[in-house]
Structure 1
Amino acid sequence: MPSPKSQRRGGTEEKNRKGRLAEKAMSFSGLSGGSSAAVLLQRPRTVPDLLAGRRNSSAGSSAAAVQFPPKLTKLLLNVTIQRSTGALQVLIPPDSMVEDLIAAALRQYVKEGRRPVLASTNARDYGLHYSQFSLESLDRTEKLAALGSRNFFLCPKMAETVQTTSSPSSSCSNEVDKPTKSIGLSWFKFTL
Structure 2
Amino acid sequence: MLLYKQKKNQSAKGNRLLISINVLGSAGPIRFVVGEEELVAAVIDTALKSYAREGRLPVLGSDLNDFLLYCPTSGSDALSPWDMIGSPGARNFLLCKKPKTDVVADDRRSPDAGIARKGNGSWKSWINKSFSLKVSSH
With the length of structure 2 as denominator, give the TM-score of the two structures.
0.60
> What is the Cα deviation at residue 135 of structure 1?
2.1
Give the number of the structure whose residues are more often helix, by fraction. 1
Say yes or no: does 1:144 pair with 2:85.
yes
Say yes or no: does 1:126 pair with 2:67.
yes
After TM superposition, the structure 1 = structure 2 runs for residues 10-49 of structure 1, keeping only pairs within 5 Å, are none
> What is the Cα deviation at residue 95 of structure 1?
2.1
Say yes or no: does 1:98 pair with 2:37.
no
> What is the Cα deviation at residue 132 of structure 1?
9.8
In structure 2, what is the equivalent of residue 107 of structure 1?
Answer: 49
> What is the Cα deviation at residue 116 of structure 1?
1.6
With the length of structure 1 as denominator, give the TM-score of the two structures.
0.45
After TM superposition, the structure 1 = structure 2 runs for residues 146-161 of structure 1, keeping only pairs within 5 Å, are 146-160=87-101
Higher relative contact order (CA 8 A, sep 6+): 2
Unaligned runs of 5+ in 1: 1-56, 164-192
Say yes or no: does 1:76 pair with 2:18.
yes
Residue among 108, 116, 122 paired with 2:58: 116
Q: Deviations over 1:116-150 (max 9, x none)?
A: 222x3211001000139942101111112222011
Contact 1:132 1:153 in 2 (8 A): no
Unaligned runs of 5+ in 2: 104-138
| Number of residue pairs matched by the alignment | 99
> What is the Cα deviation at residue 74 of structure 1?
3.4
Q: Deviations over 1:71-96 (max 9, x none)?
A: 44632210001011111012223321
- Higher gyration radius (CA): 1
**RMSD of the TM alignment (CA)?**
2.8
Percentage identity across paired residues of the two chains: 25
